Chains A and B, each alone.
Chain A
Amino acid sequence: MNLTTQRHETVQVRKHGVSRRGFLHTVSAGALAAGTLNLRDVMSLQAAELRKQGKSMILLWMGGGPSQFETFDPKPNHANGGETKAISTSVSGIQIAQGWEKTAAIMDELAIIRSMTNKEGSHPRATYQMHTGYIPSGSVKHPSLAASIAKEISNPEFDLPAVVSVGATQGAGFLGVQYEPFMVQDPSRMPQNVAPSVPTNRYGRRLGLLDKLEDEFADRGGDVVVKNHRDLYGKTSKMVLSSDLKAFDISDEPASMKEMYGDSNFGRGCLLARRLVEAGTTFVEVSSRGQGGNWDTHDNLYERVGELTASIDPATAGLIIDLKDRGLLENTLVVWMGEFGRTPKINPRGGRDHYPRVFNAAMAGCGIKGGQVIGSSTADGTAVADDPVTANDLFCSICKCLDVNPRKENMSPLGRPMKIVDGGAPVEKLFA
């Protein structure tokens, strides 16, 4: 093992936050110094170490903009609250909207933020902002928070992609393909093209032939391209042949488990998210909209919200219970949010329109103190009454949970450094 390799390993080890001491505790320093471990051994040891302390996040994305009045900030005593009733939860003194009975039962794990506030009232702009922390600009494609987090804490030796999204989402922007979300369209089926079109031994044979033939182009001047290509094909074929791939296949879950998450695409998406996190994926987004659950309730508010909660309530609660049962909740942050809230006044079509001034979000796990409500809205719900939380505050809080430095700068293509989160501060009460 030459010096260069060794230095490289040290950097890798430090980059992903495994303490050197902790590492040497596991592997005898002598073995390392004597060079009896090869690079693979070192990397897989590091992977094992990482998996132990690896943190993950699951974003439950409520696309369309969920009404705060019909979710976690009901106002049954005010005209703006409409017909929605409030229900008690497992935490005395905290009430949430009817339809969320299963979530109410796990309120002690959940921190609700009722004082989210923002300015973007159009779906694409707000969706972009609530995924990247930046408002859209033609000049730069900002990385999603998922990509930034994956860059900081994902395990490079993991066989599957670090970021998976069930339904469409924002990309990795200038952080590049390594952190692009791997898109799953239908959680009840294996992702497209992961199964080789030929038996695996023949697939392996083909890879061997390809690799031999690549030498020619490398020698003719394509060396850089060939190296990138080998890296990518190495990573991809590792995924194709990986036993971790079965994490994508929810069919072998027992019926009771499927039942707990609910018989819906969103529920299956959440179940898939748990499987992926368990396997070692760093960030999973489950988009309600990608599963047919659209919160953009400009009309027929109660009917539409009823359909949404019927699938999202059991899935949200099921996910948190399941993570907890498996000891994963401690290191898995679950965030429930959408791009904005909805107007206090119910419009003539019996719906609510876009309202970024006040909306709500919920968090659980990974150091979040459950059983509490952060901030509040005014009695009529038109404004934040106390403890306003901006998008950047929320993002800083997420970073804090995951041990990511929100002020870490990444270089944009124009050579300008950009912070993961520019502004805001963690909401300390979440951790109290």
Chain B
Amino acid sequence: MQFSTTYMAVLIIGLGTFVSAAELSDKASPAEVAAEVDRLVGDELKANEIEPAGISADEDFLRRVTLDLAGTLPLSRDVTLFGLNPDQAKREQAIDRLLESDEYAAAWARYWRDVIFLRATNMRAALANKPFVDWMTNNLSENKGWDEIATEILTATGDVRENGETALIFAQEGLPEDVAGEASRIFLGIQMQCANCHDHPWDRWKREEFHELAAFFPRISVRPVREENQIRSYEVVSVNQSFNPQDRFRELKENADRIFRFADRNRDGKLVKAEIARTQLARAFDTLLERGDKNKDGGLSLTELKAVEFPMPMQVGRGSTEHFMADLNDPSSRGQQIEPKFFLTGYSPESGLADIDRREAFSKYLTSSRNEWFSRAFVNRMWAEMTGEGFYSPIDDMGPDRTASFPGVLDLLATQFTANGYNIRWLMKTIALTQTYQREIRSTEPGTEAVPFASATATRLRGDQLYSSIITVLGSEDSAGRGRGMQMGTGGGMYRGARSPRDQFGELFGFDPSTPQADITGNIPQALFMMNSPMLAAQINARGFTRLTGLLRRFPDNEDAINELYVMILSREPTDRELKITTDYLTEVGDREEAFEDLMWSLLNSSEFLSKR
């Protein structure tokens, strides 16, 4: 095995000696990189005299990797077959099979949906949910590079119902600062939003640098799409001509003489409504008149027109074709015009570029192999999601001023991910192949901090994984995507408008995937659902037409039935202790059906079922 050879090599060379990664080619295979990752992690642990946890049992590995790569539980049949398979390469084979599955693309598309939409600033963003998932599922099943996906998201235009890639821009309502902040957070793992209003006390980023980033996006507009006078959808469009009222007003003032001469048809020195009916002034004339008609004669003289004052609009600079950084001492002024520039590499395009050209320039700088943070942010996120612990935490707050654990490992993975063309499957496979990923979970000694990567970390399932798991346990979904017995009530919330049972379940169980794992502990409505919901109760039933009824019929022996129920729900067989507890319970209750219902209820409500182990 790759691992033992490398491990031996480390022992021979000596502890604490760093071996350069030079033996790896520039573009190495998942197995090669995984082995190198394990060597680096192993060295570090040795140097700190930490004994890593053992490698997880087959059933634990299969459950974990199926949840990570396909977002669901393995079938009981697969758990048994996997355990019996003597092939040395079976773990790698399972990884490959899962990465090629339809579930892989769909589950990760929904993961990215949550990343983007759970930070949406407007409920109507839900409209773009499904289009985004469909679009992203396609990308992932074609294994499109992360650079390409990022570029399409950042340069997106069009109706949000038909162009899933508009998701991020739509979720942030096309506002330059918000789009910039989210692009930086998601694609670079760098939080810059606070620099919107002030220089960062903790970070090196200056306020101006944040606004230089926002200056890539001032020409995006999100507009309603109307059909028969009703808003049916929204579209992301480029606006390369200003519709900012202040710009228009300034033009008016600068050209007052010429406009007046042109518009005052009867040359009486006074503009009245009838005269300007067919000019550009028509729409604003009532307001102009109201504000400017000092002598109340129902018309505007040239002096009056020039003297009209406008209050500042509520959102200064909105609708302008350039980005302005507000003057904090004078918030009502429009502030200083800022040219786009990418803060990490200092690249800047020529000024005055059209919307798409600007956004393409930004995407190019972002995805350039010279910008290491693009690759690091993705690697950190995937690693944290799969192993339960990131190199940086929170996963979207990295950057040169933060300290990473195991920085060498992150560097290696990021460099290789870039060299391998931002190939997402390549990265997932590499991570899944590492011994670090495949370790057992273990308890920490009281009073000590858990050492990252010395063992696996038990983490709570995301809502989407939990839904798929429940569906797998209770039986398959029907053709409309409905899980047996999983009809839920109605409600509002994030995914209103996209009301599949999976979405409804997600409303209750979803959480922002960028949240640190330690902060995810579940909540009361979730616990109430698992304990008491009529939908689950209907399936925890040994007398109706349910899987439990079938199971009890197939396994008349109690111990066999307990075994089967454990494999079905927890993807493992019960331990001796558990067998004793459950058989004792059966005896105590006396009624087989009733006792098995209680057991099934307990297993579905157990922390183990709700977690990745």
Contacts and interface: CB of A to CB of B under 8 A. Distances in A.
A220 B441 contact: yes
Contact of B532 (A195, A218, A220, A223): A195
Interface in A235-250: 235-237, 239-240
A205 B611 CA distance: 23
B585 interface: yes
A303 interface: no
A233 B529 CA distance: 12
B607 A226 contact: yes
Given A196-B532, A239-B524, A416-B194, A213 B314 contact: no
A213 B578 contact: yes
B181 interface: yes
A221 B613 contact: yes
B345 to A, nearest CB: 22
A213 B581 contact: yes
B408 interface: no
A209 B522 contact: no
Contacts of A408: none
A278 interface: no
A217 B460 CA distance: 13
A214 B610 CA distance: 12
A371 interface: no
A230 to B, nearest CB: 8
A240 B185 contact: no
A138 B578 contact: no
B278 to A, nearest CB: 21
A228 B202 contact: no
B528 A192 contact: yes
Contacts of B182: 138-139
Interface stretch (B93-101, B229-237, B241-249, B488-496): B488-496
A177 B178 contact: no
Interface residues of A, number: 66
Task: Indicate the member of A180, A192, A416 with the most B CB atoms within 10 Å.
Answer: A192
A5 interface: no
Contacts of B193: 137-140
Task: Indicate the member of A122, A194, A221 with the most B CB atoms within 10 Å.
Answer: A221
B604 to A, nearest CB: 10
Contact of B314 (A121, A198, A209): A121
Contacts of B585: 209
A213 B458 contact: no
Given A177-B521, A413-B519, A414-B394, A138 B531 contact: no
A136 interface: yes
B575 A216 contact: yes
A137 to B, nearest CB: 5
A122 B455 CA distance: 48
A196 B534 CA distance: 9
Nearest to B119: A138
A168 B493 contact: yes
A222 interface: yes
A210 interface: yes
B516 to A, nearest CB: 6
A223 B194 contact: no
A124 B494 CA distance: 12
Contact of B537 (A197, A220, A239): A197
B533 interface: yes
A358 to B, nearest CB: 13
A209 B529 contact: no
B208 interface: no
Nearest to A223: B443
A416 B611 contact: no
A202 interface: yes
A345 to B, nearest CB: 10
Contacts of B191: 139, 414
Contacts of A209: 581-582, 585, 598-599, 602
Contact of B185 (A139, A224, A229): A139
Nearest to B613: A222
A176 B516 CA distance: 12
Contacts of A141: 119, 512
B303 interface: no
Contact of B598 (A136, A185, A206, A215): A206
A192 B525 CA distance: 8
Contacts of A216: 575, 577-578, 608
B122 interface: yes
Contacts of A217: 606-608, 611, 613
A205 B608 CA distance: 19
B534 to A, nearest CB: 6
A222 B529 contact: no
Contacts of B194: 139, 416
A213 B603 contact: yes
Contacts of B613: 217, 220-222
Nearest to B172: A138
Task: Indicate the member of B444, B456, B532, B537 with the most A CB atoms within 10 Å.
Answer: B532
A232 B598 CA distance: 20
Interface string B521-563: 1111101110111101100100000000000000000000000
Contacts of B476: none
A213 B524 contact: no
A187 interface: no
B202 A225 contact: no
A214 to B, nearest CB: 6
Contacts of A198: 537
Contacts of A180: 523-524
A236 B528 contact: yes
A121 B313 CA distance: 11
A193 interface: yes
Contacts of A356: 314
A212 B531 contact: no
B531 A196 contact: yes
A183 B525 contact: yes
Nearest to A234: B527
A356 B397 CA distance: 34
A325 interface: no
A222 B524 contact: no
A239 B537 CA distance: 19
A69 interface: no
Contacts of A223: 443-444
Interface in B402-459: 440-444, 455-456, 458-459
B436 to A, nearest CB: 15
Given A202-B598, A240-B532, A225 B314 contact: no
B155 to A, nearest CB: 19
B451 to A, nearest CB: 13
B6 interface: no
A221 B458 contact: yes
Task: Indicate the member of A161, A193, A195, A219 with the most B CB atoms within 10 Å.
Answer: A193
Nearest to B331: A119
B605 interface: yes
A205 B598 contact: yes
Given A138-B185, A185-B491, A416-B202, A194 B528 contact: yes
Contacts of B172: 138
7 contacts: A192-B525, A220-B441, A222-B611, A229-B610, A230-B607, A240-B528, A414-B191
Given A183-B491, A202-B598, A222-B441, 13 more contacts: A119-B314, A138-B119, A139-B191, A174-B519, A192-B525, A193-B531, A197-B537, A202-B594, A221-B456, A226-B607, A235-B527, A239-B524, A413-B519
Q: Which 3 pairs of residues, A with B, have the shortest CB-CB distance?
A: A221-B441, A229-B607, A197-B537
Interface of B: 53, 119, 121-123, 171-172, 178, 181-182, 185, 191, 193-194, 196, 202, 314, 394, 397, 440-444, 455-456, 458-460, 489-493, 512, 515-516, 519, 521-525, 527-529, 531-534, 536-537, 540, 575, 577-578, 581-582, 585, 589, 594, 598-599, 601-603, 605-608, 610-611, 613
Interface of A: 119-122, 124-125, 128, 136-141, 161, 168, 174, 176-177, 180, 182-183, 185, 192-198, 202-203, 205-206, 209-210, 212-226, 228-233, 235-237, 239-240, 290, 356, 413-414, 416
